[in-house]
Amino acid sequence: MIDAESLPLIFASLLGLSILLYVVLDGFDLGVGLLLPFAESNQRDRRVASIGPFWDANETWLVLAIGILLVAFPAAHGQILTALYLPDLPVAIMLIGLILRGVAFEFRAKAPLPHKDRWDRIFFAGSLTTSLSQGLMLGLYVMGLKWGLAEVAFAALTSLALSAAYGFIGAAWLILKTDGALQLKAVAWARRGIWGLVLGMAAVSLATPLVSPRIFAKWFSFPEIVLLVPLPVMSALLIVLVWIALKRLPTRDDSFAWFPFAAATLLMALGFCGMAYSFYPFIVPERLTIAAAASSPESLRIILFGVVCVLPVILAYTVFAYAIFRGKATGLSYD
Amino acid sequence: MTATYLTSWSGLWLFWRRGAENLPRPYLTALTAMTFSGWVATLAGWYVTEIGRQPWLVQGVLTAADAVGPVAAGMVLSTLLAYLAVYVLLLAAYVGALFHLAGRKPGFAPAPRFVLQPAGE
């Protein structure tokens, strides 16, 4: 049987994995939503078709993350969500954004045709409010869940940066899933969106050690710094490689169309690892540790049994869905 | 609730006896009248559960008064109102789309069907 000390760590890792998968997967379909107003409306269907089979399942990872936070770390769930509820309501705003987006996705195809443009605008607006509020939450979390002027200003910056980063990974997804004129446009969007990702990663990397002397010491002390240097170096290298790739894409035989999306995923994973290293062992920054926030070992054992059964199924059907709908989105046909 | 079951079961019987094409007109009118009965039943059941278990949130363990968080009441009210507003708008859109899909509204083309071609070819 797994001992009582490692159980909270297992759940913290699962929570981290769910959040990372959410940011990458829902990130790209939110990004496609953000890019919807650009280019002509006759290309919108194809863009929506490129995320059609995936977007709903992608949001499941957010539900799983919040679920794990609630059942495994109830104290942290209370503190984080209560802090984010005050006074600008980013959680509520995000939920309204997600509701509008999900509904618009269905209604744009089922409501009367003259209303389609309106639903497309709602789809965009829902994607935008969701991305902005998630960026705001990221910034507030990094700043230790305080609502001072400097904290909110920083959160406003990460809010814009995360939205641009979602736009970037959305464009990278479109490079992978489309061809022709739309793919060409996606390359141009990706070239602009990547600065959002760079800005966001730089801002969080600079702010985290400055906010907390503990995190500063964790990064800038010997020998840790030698082991940690690969994180920023690899990120910088990847950004340069993506930049070069975006100058050459699309290639004639469509080779390397996968590269921007793979690089974006890797960049987000690297950034996430950096943040996880910074905040460990805290789950509520500088206030509550993973071990202190965890439920009792007995409860965690029961939940772990459920997770061991369910998680492989979710992973399997996710891989299955992406394998079936691999290749290019050819279009949305009406019959 | 009883009316819902009566309508659906008598429908099954009529369907079995007369086929889909020959359902009596009064029955079809009754079906239309029962459109939202499923919703009403769900909401009524939910209301009874929520109100019936007060003051407990978890029977015998936690009261609703003890479970309330430190968030100001006005804040909770404002988000509740925002959700309500969104849901009322969506309900209107939903009912509109239902009528549209049923082909009742003149002047609109038949609803397009959303088809995704398997990619790769």
Per-residue pLDDT of chain B (121 residues; tens, 9 = 90+): 677 777 777 777 777 777 767 777 787 787 777 778 888 889 999 999 888 888 888 888 888 888 887 777 787 888 888 889 999 998 888 888 887 777 755 555 554 444 444 444 3
pLDDT at A87: 53
Any idea where the domains of chain A sit in the sequence? 6-324
Q: Does B51 touch chain A (CB under 8 A)?
A: no
Q: Is A222 on the interface with B (CB under 8 A)?
A: no
Q: What pLDDT was estimated at residue B120?
A: 40
CB contact under 8 A, B118 and A325: yes
**Which chain A residues are closer than 8 Å to B101 by Cβ?**
110
Spatial separation of the C-alpha atoms in residues A116 and A67, rounded to whole Å: 35
CA-based nearest distance A329→chain B, Å: 6
CA distance A326 to chain B (A): 6
- Phi and psi torsions of B14, nearest 5°: -60, -40
Residue A10 belongs to what H/E stretch?
helix A6-34
pTM of the entire predicted model: 0.80
Q: Contact B82/A52, CB-based, under 8 Å? A: no
Q: Are residues A105 and A89 in contact, defined by beta-carbon separation less than 8 angstroms?
A: no
Q: How far, in Å, CA of A273 to CA of A276, rounded?
A: 5
Say which amino acid occupies A94: M
Which of B70, B79, B114 is opposite residue A109, by nearest beta carbon?
B114
CA distances from A313 to A15, A21, A68, A106, A318 (A): 17, 15, 17, 26, 8
Q: Which residues 19-48 of chain B have a CB within 8 Å of chain A?
A: none
Beta strands in chain A (DSSP E): 282-284, 288-289, 332-333
The answer to whether B106 faces chain A, any CB pair under 8 Å, is no
Residues in chain A with CB shorter than 8 Å from the CB of B66 are none
Nearest by Cα to A23 from A197, A257, A186, A214: A197
To the nearest 10°, report the CA torsion of B30, B32, B33, B39: 120
- Torsion sign (Cα): B21, B22, B28, B30: negative
Question: What's the one-letter identity of residue A69?
Answer: L
Cβ–Cβ below 8 Å for A334 and B112:
yes
Residues on chain A touching B74 (C-beta within 8 angstroms): none
SS3 string of B4-68? HHHHHHHHHHHHHHHCHHHCCHHHHHHHHHCCCHHHHHHHHHHHHHHHHCCCEEECCCEEHHHHC
B70–A82 C-beta distance less than 8 A: yes
The pLDDT value recorded for residue B84 is: 92
Q: Which residues of A touch B75 (CB under 8 A)?
A: 85-87, 89
pLDDT for A281:
84
State the pLDDT at residue B100.
78
Q: CA B42: distance to chain centroid? A: 8
**Are A110 and B82 inside 8 Å of each other by CB?**
no
Residue where the block lists tokens 């607006």: A125
Residues 106-165 on A with a CB inside 8 Å of B are: 107, 109-114
HSE-up of residue A203 (Cα within 13 Å, Cβ side): 24
CA trace torsion A65, A70, A71, A76 (10° rounding): 110
- From B55's Cα to the closest Cα of chain A, the distance in A is 21
A53 to chain B, any CB pair closer than 8 A? The answer is: yes
Query: Which of B70, B111, B121 faces A110 most closely, judged by CB atoms?
Result: B111
Q: Closest CB to A85: pick one of B75, B101, B116.
A: B75
Q: Residue B61 phi/psi, 5° resolution?
A: -115, -50
Q: How far is B78 from chain A (nearest CA, A)?
A: 10
Task: Tell whether A330 is within 8 A of chain B (Cβ).
Answer: yes
What is the count of residue pairs from A and B with beta carbons less than 8 Å apart?
A: 84
Q: How much is the pLDDT for B88?
A: 92
Tens place of pLDDT for every residue, chain A, 335 residues?
A: 677 778 888 888 888 888 888 888 888 888 888 888 886 766 777 778 778 778 888 888 888 888 888 888 888 888 887 777 665 577 888 888 888 888 888 888 777 777 778 888 888 888 998 888 888 888 888 888 877 888 888 888 888 888 888 888 888 888 888 877 778 888 888 888 888 888 888 888 888 888 778 888 877 877 878 878 888 888 889 888 888 888 887 777 777 778 888 888 898 888 888 888 888 888 888 778 888 888 888 888 888 888 889 889 988 988 888 888 877 776 655 43
> Which chain A residues are closer than 8 Å to B97 by Cβ?
107, 110-112
CA distance A76 to chain B (A): 13
Residue B121 has what pLDDT? 33
Q: Which residues of A touch B121 (CB under 8 A)?
A: 327, 330
* Res A86: pLDDT: 62
Q: Hey, are the CB atoms on A327 and B114 less than 8 Å from each other?
A: no
Q: Is A86 on the interface with B (CB under 8 A)?
A: yes
